[in-house]
Amino acid sequence: MSTFLLVHGAWHGAWCWREVVPRLEAMGHRAVALDLPGHGDDRTPIAQVTLQAYADRVCGALDALTEPAIVGGHSMGGMVITQAAEQRPERTKALVYLCAFLPRNGESLLELAQEDAGGLVLPNLVVAEDGASATVRAEAIKDAFYADCSDEQVALARSRLVPQAMAPLATPVAITEERFGRVPRVYIETRRDCAIPLALQRKMHAASPCRSVVTMDTSHSPFFSAPGDLASALAEV
């Protein structure tokens, strides 16, 4: 059995994995979901939230585990697990990108997102006056992230989403083939995704080939809409 470390995406927190963790545990695995700085129950001020701070949080969690982990990252979490794997390749058994940004060296999330044709996030992004953080227009949240989720799940998410620091989104990853490149990668693409459209997902994993690609017929949040299928896909890694 394996140990899983699960990393959420922008605006979210460890709470988004609440229906996946017990399913993995029921299969006999260990599963840990964490809050990145400034997310969930973590109160790190926006000004201190950086891509490096995100990666350091993941590295600290990896160091605390008793064995190397399969590290899963959702959406923006793909940037985070990429940088963390560069720092801790020996603690990373495999990387799983769940409808996530998969950057090459020197690429930032905002750079990749500019290639997004038809996604609902950028057109509905509301940047704070000081430019330090952003939210998504309330009327676009369901369609962008949770189109196939229940009303109860959407209500939970709305109550827990937090402003997203802009600094990590603009920061390019710094990775090498010798370290990040030696960690096996798996991509789980989501066919009905309106946050990171399928075409962009496929463009990224074509540019950075993965050991395997799994397709789920869901929106951007299969941890809510198809947690059993997602847990099974993770377990197969």
Domain ranges in the chain? Answer: 3-236
Question: If one looks up domain 3-236 in CATH, what number appears?
Answer: 3.40.50.1820
Instruction: Quote the pLDDT of residue 159.
Output: 98
- Closest of 64, 60, 36 to residue 50, by C-alpha: 36
Q: What is the reported pTM?
A: 0.98
Q: How far apart are the first and last CA of the chain?
A: 11
Residues in the chain, pLDDT under 50 = none
Instruction: Quote the pLDDT of residue 236.
Output: 95
Instruction: Quote the pLDDT of residue 141.
Output: 98
Neighbour-count burial of 156, counting CB atoms closer than 10 A to its CB (0-12 exposed, 13-18 middle, 19+ buried): middle
Instruction: Quote the pLDDT of residue 116.
Output: 77
Q: Please list the helix, strand and coil fractions of the chain in percent, rounded to the nearest 5, in that order.
A: 40, 20, 40
Q: Is 81:23 a contact under the CB 8 Å cutoff?
A: no
Instruction: Quote the pLDDT of residue 117.
Output: 75
DSSP string for 183-235: S-EEEEEETT-SSS-HHHHHHHHHHS--SEEEEESS-S-HHHH-HHHHHHHHH
